[in-house]
Amino acid sequence: MNAPVPNGPPRVPSDSMPPGRAALSVTWAALPVLTLGYGTAFTFAAAALWRRSLHLLLASLAYIGLFVTLLRVQGDGPERLAGVLIFALAVVGSAHAFLIRSRVFDPDGLSGIGNEQVVERVRRQRLLREKARELAARDPGLARELRIGRPDLPREYQDGGLVDVNHAPAGVLTQLPGVTGEMAEQIVRVRAETGGFLSAEELSAVAGLPPDLTPGIADHAVFIR
């Protein structure tokens, strides 16, 4: 049974955001304290411009009002009032920023899903497959020694998930997109008769695979002779 999805607002950035964005959100929220309240209005104003948020706009206007009052009081007003204004700008402003930082840096609550990391991982796998194919084309013997396209064998070389159609067993061939166990057995039989294949197009034509599988196979297959 799947665990229920929790309701309510997204977790704070330190729980759900990538480390870089979480660190940036903490720095932003700490600016009012770090600047002793003098940077509070600018902190919220920048966020208001970035997110186009009415809440942030009203907050920045309020902190601008407090900041202007502080500048006037520091000239000839009572020191106690100046201290209260500095406390409001620095401490209250920072607490306010920490409270809403998830809405500023993760307004949709999507950072914790990790889609960006997944996309980057897929791109990296594609690049690894491309590099492995280039190596196999230049030096098939080295490719066989590195066991490119042979996840069934112990190896260290990272090929991005390639499958060597000319040498891999039927069980590994099923890792090709859309290739069933029956198709894999057919590939092995035809391979034994013909000595192997040169491309995904030839594989599909000679082994009688559905044409719509060819692009996916081409993306994940290598044909080492």
How many other β-carbons are positioned within 10 Å of the β-carbon of residue 4? 6
* One pLDDT digit (tens) per residue for the chain, 225 residues: 344 434 444 444 444 677 788 889 999 999 999 999 999 999 999 999 999 999 999 999 999 999 999 998 887 778 889 999 999 999 999 999 999 998 898 887 666 666 777 888 899 999 999 999 999 999 999 999 999 999 999 999 999 999 999 999 999 999 999 999 999 999 999 999 999 999 999 999 999 999 999 999 999 999 999
The structure's pTM equals 0.56
**Do the Cβ atoms of 69 and 85 come closer than 8 Å?**
yes
**Do the Cβ atoms of 40 and 130 come closer than 8 Å?**
no
The two structure tokens encoding residue 7: 């309701």
**Do the Cβ atoms of 29 and 101 come closer than 8 Å?**
yes
- 181-191 CB burial, b ≥16 within 10 A, e <16: eebbebbbebb
